[in-house]
Structure 1
Amino acid sequence: MSRTLILIGLGIVVVGLLWPWLSKLPLGRLPGDLLIRREHITLYIPVTTMVLISAILSLLVWLFHR
């Protein structure tokens, strides 16, 4: 359990350090991300972004478990 928490903490630190470059990626603005604007509500559903992130995380987990 402690090893997992350490790895999660290190992952958060790495993402924090890389944030200036990661924020320039077009995540959240990809084709297939849904944006519905109505009179009193805005609904944003990042379908394509979540599929891409899921595929990347699945690949990383697969690589680390080998």
Structure 2
Amino acid sequence: MIRWFLAIFVGLIVLSAALPWLEKIGLGRLPGDIRFRLFGKNIFLPFASTVLLSLLLFVVMRLIR
């Protein structure tokens, strides 16, 4: 349980640090990524980018095996 928590925590830190770079190559601006302002805060829901990155990671892991 603790390993999963640490893996998710580290993954979130890495992805949040890489978000500006990922936006430069187009991730985060795909159709299906939702951005809106609510109570003065910007909310970002990257549905399409998440699916694309998951598929990419799946293909890479299948090729490595």
Superposed pair shares fold, TM > 0.5 = yes
2:39 maps to a residue whose letter is: E
- Distance in 1 between residues matched to 2:47 and 2:23, nearest whole Å: 18
SS in structure 2 at match of 1:44 = strand
Aligned to 2:31: 31
Partner of 2:57: helix, strand, or coil?
Answer: helix
After superposing on structure 2, the runs of 4+ consecutive aligned residues of structure 1 that deviate more than 3 Å are none
How is 1:17-56 mapped onto 2 (pairs within 5 angstroms)? 24-56=24-56
Q: 1:23 to 1:38 in 2, by over 3 A?
A: closer
Normalised by the length of structure 2, the TM-score is: 0.59
Partner of 1:63: 63
Structure 2 unaligned spans of 5+: 1-20
Pair member with larger Rg: 1
Show structure 1 runs of 5+ residues with no match.
Answer: 1-19
Identity between Structure 1 and Structure 2 (%): 36
In 1, distance between residues paired with 2:23 and 2:31?
Answer: 18
Shift of 1:24: 4.1
